Amino acid sequence: MLALPDCDTLLLNLEGGVLHVTLNRPDSRNAMSLTMVSELRAVLESLRNDISVRAIVLRGAGGHFCAGGDIKDIAGARAKGGDAYRSLNRAFGSLLEEAQATPQVLIAVLEGAVLGGGFGLACVSDIAISHQDAKFGLPETTLGILPAQIAPFVVKRIGLTQTRRLALTAARFNGSEAERLGLVHFSETSSEAIEARLQQVLSQVRSCAPQANAQTKALLLAAESEALGPLLDRAAEQFAAAVTGAEGIEGTMAFVQKRAPKWAQ
């Protein structure tokens, strides 16, 4: 049975193979404290080898997703010097790396403030569903700091040209613009529409074999950095193993027998 860590800043609810993770610091618009970063990383670590959890739904409490980094943590690190700042900043980058690589489908539900660190989390999601009136932005330079850990993920999500514009102006924009930029996949007009879209997406995820999904996600991410020939060689080996593996056999039999495969039932 999946053992989830105890959390002070997150609400966790595992239901029907989907782990719902809610950032739960509504008084600060779910600002990303070091404790929250550590707890999110612990949750992801607990899921690393457990594909019985098909998807992770990440959202925020109190009408906001995440307003960025916790300024109190930054102020608290001041007395400890540069090493503390580096460690604090790099911990969030590690969270983004781990969230992007998690074998589960990561779905971000974005409402209210999606700023700074929250913007970064949106960029590592596999599927992003936004409220049309959500407020997106990279405000770091208005505070005299850099979007240091977030920037590479934003560039990969929406491209260098748009990232330069947004990072160097700190411009704010809504969910409709986020959809146009390719930052989010769906921009909905109401909370009810968001929930309906989420259920549709989860239904689609459940129709996919969990191991095939995990390997496909890893393959897609590798396509950004690995040499093409070796990547295709490895992909061919994975394909052959999948065809003769349990999921491939079940998927083929389900198709022939005109029934849903076991993982979709």
Q: What is the CATH number for 136?
A: 3.90.226.10
**Mean of pLDDT over the chain:** 94
Average pLDDT of the residues in 120-125: 98
Residue 61 sits in the same domain as residue 183: yes
β-strand pairing of 10-15 with 18-23: antiparallel
Beta bridge partners of 106: 56
Q: Count Cα atoms within 13 angstroms, Cβ side, for 113.
A: 22
265 has pLDDT over 90 = no
The rounded distance, in Å, linking the Cα atoms of 60 and 9 is 11
Is 216 in the same domain as 259?
yes
Phi/psi of residue 253, each to 5°?
-65, -40
One domain, residues 193 and 221: no
Q: Are residues 17 and 141 in the same domain?
A: yes
The answer as to whether 2 is a domain residue is no
According to DSSP H, which parts of 149-190 are helical?
Answer: 151-158, 160-169, 175-181
CATH number at residue 223: 1.10.12
Do 122 and 63 sit in the same domain of this protein? yes
The widest CA-to-CA distance across the chain, in whole angstroms, is: 67
Within this chain, do residues 195 and 219 fall inside the same structural domain, yes or no? no
* Residue 117 shares a structural domain with residue 220: no
Q: How confident is the model at residue 73 (pLDDT cuts 50, 70, 90)?
A: confident
Q: According to the model, what pLDDT value does residue 67 have?
A: 96
In a domain, 246, yes or no: yes
pLDDT single digits (tens) 26-48: 999 999 999 999 999 999 999 99
Average pLDDT over residues 246-255: 95
Looking at 182, 206, 230, which one is the last position of a domain? 206
pLDDT at 51: 87
Model confidence at 1: pLDDT above 90: no
Question: Which domain, by its residues, includes 82?
Answer: 10-206
Q: Is residue 192 part of a domain?
A: yes
> Are residues 21 and 122 located together in one domain of the fold?
yes
Q: How far apart are CA 109 and CA 198, in angstroms?
A: 8
Same domain for 150 and 235: no
98 and 214 share a domain? no
Residue 114 is classified by DSSP as E
Q: Which two tokens stand for residue 239?
A: 């394909």
Establish if 1 belongs to a structural domain. Answer: no
Please report whether residue 4 resides in a domain.
no
pLDDT tens-digit map of 155-187 = 999 999 999 999 999 999 999 999 999 999 999
Tokens of 71: 């300024």
Q: 232, 240 in Cβ contact below 8 A?
A: no
Q: pLDDT at residue 220 above 90?
A: yes
Which residue matches tokens 């849903």?
260
**In this structure, is residue 124 part of a structural domain?**
yes
* pLDDT at residue 77 tops 90: no
Whether residue 202 sits in one domain with residue 80? yes
Average pLDDT score over residue span 212-235: 96
Would you say residue 80 has pLDDT above 70? no
Within-domain flag for 3:
no
Between 36-45, 70-79, 93-102, 142-151, the lowest mean confidence (pLDDT) is in 70-79
User: Does residue 258 sit in helix, strand or coil?
Assistant: coil
d(CA 14, CA 12): 7
Model pLDDT, residue 78: 65
Instruction: Give 3-state DSSP helix, strand, coil % of the chain, rounded to 5.
Output: 55, 15, 30
Q: Domain tally for the chain?
A: 2
pLDDT digits (tens, 9 = 90+) for 123-151: 999 999 999 999 999 999 999 999 999 99
